[in-house]
Amino acid sequence: MKGHAGQNGQTHNRQAEDRQAEVWACLQGVTDPELDESVTELNFVTRADVDPDNRVHIEFRLPTYWCAANFSFLMADDMRRAVSALDWVEGVSVVLGEHMYADKINAGLATGLSFQETFGTEADGSLDDLRQTFLVKAFQRRQVALLNHLIAASHSPETIVSLTLTELDCLAVDGEGGKLLRRYLERRAVVGPLRSDALAFVDAKGARLKADGLAGYVSGLRRVGINAEFNSALCRGLLSVRFDLETPVTPRSKASSKSPDSQHVP
């Protein structure tokens, strides 16, 4: 009997660890809308636990006390959506800490209200519109990174602008190029359908790029990446100073036996 009890306990513990790892994997795919970086890599998420009833409890914090309410709510909503997609999850609570609108945001999240319902007349625009705006910016940032890589690898402008999605996916690239390619394809659907014969590279309106204008197009997009990189470094610095971070937050599921309105910054 003791043997069976011990075995059942080990099985339960493994399942709990696996499920917590699944939660962290989902959160890894949630990005800060402005920076296009994972909320876990940015150290925003401080807790992601699964209780015995398969309810997930997430806590997060942001670089400053006054980070924009719509950004804060959007990230919380994206975390809830991502984790709720797991078929075993019975409920998700997301709590924002140490923020000027924490009480209002947390109350809205707890009762399933939208951003507009939570903030009423204070809400500035649609959260869906904000999400789309920054998905397009993320697409542009990832596109210019991949285009720069392909140009540096001596692919001609004529070849690049003529590639279909299938041809791009089959293109021989190095390790860094493969990473850039995967990230780009994650956002390509933002500007058009992912048909196999669709052009791999189009602009934010879905229009084909021109070979003789590719250099100018890439140059124009570089500022998107530069601005995001600057804001990313600033946010990391502010977060580190605010919470006296010396090392990144380690997800409990990954830990060893050791204890463990559109700007984020002024």
| pLDDT exceeds cutoff 90 at 107 | yes
Span 210-227, average pLDDT: 87
- Residue 222's pLDDT is 82
Summarised one tens digit per residue, pLDDT across range 94-103 is: 999 999 999 9
Q: Which whole number is the average pLDDT over 144-167?
A: 97
Average pLDDT over residues 196-205: 96
pLDDT in tens, 222-233: 877 676 677 778
pTM of the model: 0.79
Per domain, the residue ranges of the chain are 2-125, 129-242
Among 73-87, 123-137, 223-237, 249-263, whose mean pLDDT is lowest? 249-263
Give SS3 for 143.
Answer: helix
What is the C-alpha separation between 166 and 162, in angstroms, rounded? 11
Element (DSSP H or E) covering residue 91:
strand 91-96
**Which is nearest to 84 in space by CA: 4, 27, 1, 158?**
27
Q: pLDDT at position 125, please?
A: 78
The top-scoring range by mean pLDDT among 121-125, 148-152, 252-256 is 148-152
Tell me: the pLDDT tens digits for 7-26? Answer: 666 777 889 899 999 999 99
The C-alpha atoms of residue 56 and residue 253 are separated, in whole angstroms, by 13
- Domain 2-125 class? alpha beta
For 145-185, give the DSSP string: HHHHHHHHTT--HHHHHH-BHHHHHTS---HHHHHHHHHHH
Q: pLDDT tens digits, residue range 32-43?
A: 988 899 999 999
Distance CA 266, CA 259 (A): 35
In this predicted structure, the answer to whether residue 260 has a pLDDT above a threshold of 50 is no
pLDDT at 103: 96
